[in-house]
Amino acid sequence: MNLTTSLLLLRLLQLSDTALPIGVLNHSFGVETLTVEESLSVDGVEAFLLEYLEEIGSFEIHFCGAAYRLGAAGPDRFQIEQWLDLNMQLSAFKLARENRNASATLGRRFLRLVNGLVEEPLLTAAIDSAQQTKTDIHHCAAFGLAGAALGIGEDSTLLAYGHQSLANLTSSCQRLLPLGQAQATRMLWRLKPLLAELVGRVQQNDFDINQAACFAPLVEMGSMRHPTLSTRLFIS
């Protein structure tokens, strides 16, 4: 592994760390409601994570990949209208206001953080266009665009985003349920092949965003009911 490859890997590891200061650990994306209402227990966590990955995870990886391809064209050929449209589609798909706001908050903070580190013209254009048009920047789209701008490989970017999302959700379950570290680690380990398969599917399907779909009513309803909880550990 040469120095350039090693540096890109190190940067990707840092950007996909759940401890990155953008507030990822403050969001459960509806999981807190599901645990309070006893719709989710320790025995069902792994099955829940698998279904979440298959539905919402796969959906967001598609959009992460689409954003990557927009960024891979470079700053001179960056199609701003398509970038804005991509994020507007994501907003339309996220029916629950809580999840939509969480995704947009994380995406905006993430892209600004990365741009503050590298001062990349492509990222500046993406941020400015969204701000001028008052368009949300969603986390998965921001991650894909940043990966392309930094010259990180497409598959590595998608895998890192998927893993970070899965790890964050697992962390939320650990704080809400009697789920031990060793048990959570084994779950994450067993879900790795599925994550790799989903990224492979996205790349094979050539990122046809017009056919993207997501149906997760339990999570959406959990997010919508989250503000009504008497006590809350998470924002969403």
Q: Locate 185 and state its tokens.
A: 């680690």
- Say what the pLDDT of residue 25 is: 87
Looking at 74-180, list the stretches that DSSP marks H as alpha helix, in order from N- to C-terminal side. Answer: 80-93, 97-118, 121-133, 139-149, 154-176
pTM: 0.95
| Structural Rg of the chain based on CA atoms | 17
Pick the range with the lowest mean pLDDT from 122-131, 181-190, 211-220: 211-220
Contact 42, 178 (CB under 8 A): yes
The pair of structure tokens assigned to 138 is 């969603």
pLDDT tier for residue 14 given thresholds of 50, 70 and 90: very high
Asked if residue 70 has pLDDT above 60, the reply is yes
Determine the distance from the C-alpha atom of residue 160 to the mean position of all C-alpha atoms in its chain, rounded to a whole number: 9
The pLDDT of residue 152 is above 70: yes
